[in-house]
Amino acid sequence: MKTEVKQEEIGIELEVPKTEEELIAQEEKKEEQNPVAAWNPRTQIGKEVKAGRIKDIDSILSSGKKILEPEIVDSLISLEKDLLLVGQSKGKFGGGKRRAWRQTQKKTMEGNVLTFSSLAVVGDRNGHVGIGLGKSKETLPSREKAVRLAKLNVIKVTRGCGNFDCSCSEPHSIPFIVEGKCGSVKIKLIPAPQGTGLVVGDECKKILRLAGIRDIYSYTQGYGRSTINFASACIEALKNTGVLK
């Protein structure tokens, strides 16, 4: 005769699989527990930042020196981060929900090898923004790589008010028309008056918000549904804001 043993009598708790949102929140808590104070710099710029001799990130970016440690950016500015929707879940007739991870697979003799890619954007909403593409065999490591690369690719965005309908002096837009290109995607960013908002694609809105831009017009050519090329073209356009016309 079989005997049934209840879970409460044994005292074993079954682990419930966590969702992607819960895993992301768990990783963010781990990142908060690792302060920059425990950072051991290896580059000359990192040692100067750690010693307090460099207190402004703009001086590093204007000098043309390359940032090789993400802790340099973390110690100089306070960053916010977000993920761009580069993938899509399975659905009938291509109607799957957009997701932050793009899944690809490679055919090998051992079977299918899965790879996950994610595109992260970081910014301080005050003229600094960067994007990074991370790839890994799992979702969370690809996100961590993307955030780390985004911090290393931070750029300075020159803001202003270049629209003739707006005579304010607040840096709510860009100073003049700029263009960027990546692959077949071409984007033109045009200054807009206050109250216009971000007239651009949803994924590019995340980049502009973290850069501190609130009003802008845009004109896009090419295959804009390619999120990676679209975001890279937007970053190239923002780089041109520092070039005098």
Q: Kindly report, residue by residue over 12-53, the tens digit of the pLDDT.
A: 444 445 665 666 666 666 555 555 668 899 999 999 999 989
Residue with tokens 């100073």: 175
Half-sphere exposure of 198 (CA within 13 A, CB side): 16
Q: What percent of the chain has pLDDT over 90?
A: 59
Q: What's the CA gap between 117 and 129, in Å, rounded? A: 20
Tens digits of per-residue pLDDT, 190-200?
Answer: 999 999 999 99
CA angle 100, 102, 105 (to 5 degrees): 155
Tell whether the model's pLDDT for residue 11 goes beyond 90. no
Who has greater pLDDT, 210 or 38?
210
Q: What is the pLDDT of residue 35?
A: 52
Domain boundaries, the chain: 20-156, 178-242
Q: What's the CA gap between 208 and 77, in Å, rounded? A: 17
The reply to whether 178-242 shares the fold of 20-156 is no
Tens digits of per-residue pLDDT, 67-90?
Answer: 999 999 999 999 999 999 998 887
Of the given ranges (17-21, 35-39, 149-153, 230-234), which has the lowest mean pLDDT?
Answer: 17-21
Average pLDDT, integer, range 58-74 = 92
**Coil vs helix vs strand at 87:** strand
Half-sphere exposure of 177 (CA within 13 A, CB side): 7
Residue with tokens 């008056």: 193
The 10 Å Cβ neighbour count of residue 35 is 10
Q: What's the CA gap between 149 and 179, in Å, rounded? A: 24
Q: What's the CA gap between 120 and 118, in Å, rounded? A: 6
Q: Where are the beta strands (DSSP E) in 89-203?
A: 98-99, 101-108, 111-123, 128-136, 155-156, 178-182, 185-191
Instruction: Please give the model's pTM, rounded to 2 decimal places.
Output: 0.82
Tell whether the model's pLDDT for residue 157 goes beyond 70. yes
Of the given ranges (89-98, 146-155, 190-199), which has the lowest mean pLDDT?
Answer: 89-98
Which CATH code of 3.30.230.10, 3.40.50.10860, 3.40.50.720, 3.90.400.10 fits the domain covering 178-242? 3.30.230.10
Answer whether 154's CB lies under 8 Å from 129's CB: yes
CATH (residue range 20-156): 3.30.160.20
CA angle 127, 154, 39 (to 5 degrees): 115
Give the residue from 234, 243, 237 showing the smallest Cα distance to 84.
Answer: 234
Answer whether 20's CB lies under 8 Å from 28's CB: no
Q: What is the pLDDT of residue 90?
A: 77
For 176, list phi and psi in degrees, rounded to 5: -160, 175
